Homo-oligomer: A and B are copies of this chain.
Amino acid sequence: MENFSSKLLQSAVEEFARLPGIGKKTALRLVLHLLKQDGEIMNRFSEALLKLHREVVYCRECYNISDSPVCEICSSPRRDNTMICVTEDIRDVIAIENTGQYHGLYHVLGGIISPIDGIGPADLNIEALEKRLQSNQEVREVILALSTTMEGDTTNFYLYKKIKPFNRKVTVIARGIAIGDELEYADEVTLGRSIIHRTEYDQKTIR
């Protein structure tokens, strides 16, 4: 895909094709779509990105993406500040917020321990979490909401050891059969764990 009649088109396509999961063909389709729109839409697109990049800050408490030094969640009086939920990135914060089931605070690690990708504990916002626990005695529980992968387990273990000296309750999100899933298609590890960590039947919470 080298035969672009326009260098300008080519460089726009190349920028798009750098995005994860976007190949050259898709990039071309997206750029041509933007080009077909009127000028205002193209300007708005670029402006939104530049503005985000120039003005965005990370919450100094929880490292969530924010428009102000302390994010909406951390500064809200309606949130339960006795619990902190630790997530890998902001996408997980959004996913948990969308469930409407959690009203505590967050702590965004900014990644997950992954030796293969060269990401160690020092690359994550772990020290900041320790400082939060040290200075906020009201936090009673730290919920580890990381992926149920090997990297997630490793990070959970590392975090657990770091949090232990602060004498707070450490919990992990429940692992088990997803709601709506058929048992016969569940993998053995998940099924095994879901039996070990079975919970008492409760009409209100179990469907």
Binding site for B on A (CB under 8 A): 1-9, 11-12, 14-16, 18-22, 26, 28-35, 39, 41-53, 55-56, 59, 64-67, 71-73, 89-91, 93-94, 97-98
Contacts and interface: CB of A to CB of B under 8 A. Distances in A.
A26 B21 contact: yes
Nearest to A45: B15
A21 B25 CA distance: 13
Contacts of A47: 46
B90 A48 contact: no
Contacts of A59: 5
A48 B15 contact: yes
Pick from A19, A21, A28, A72 the residue with the most CB of B within 10 Å.
A19
Given A9-B65, A20-B30, A48-B11, A3 B35 contact: no
A53 B29 contact: no
A39 to B, nearest CB: 6
B46 A50 contact: yes
Contacts of A66: 5-6
A167 to B, nearest CB: 29
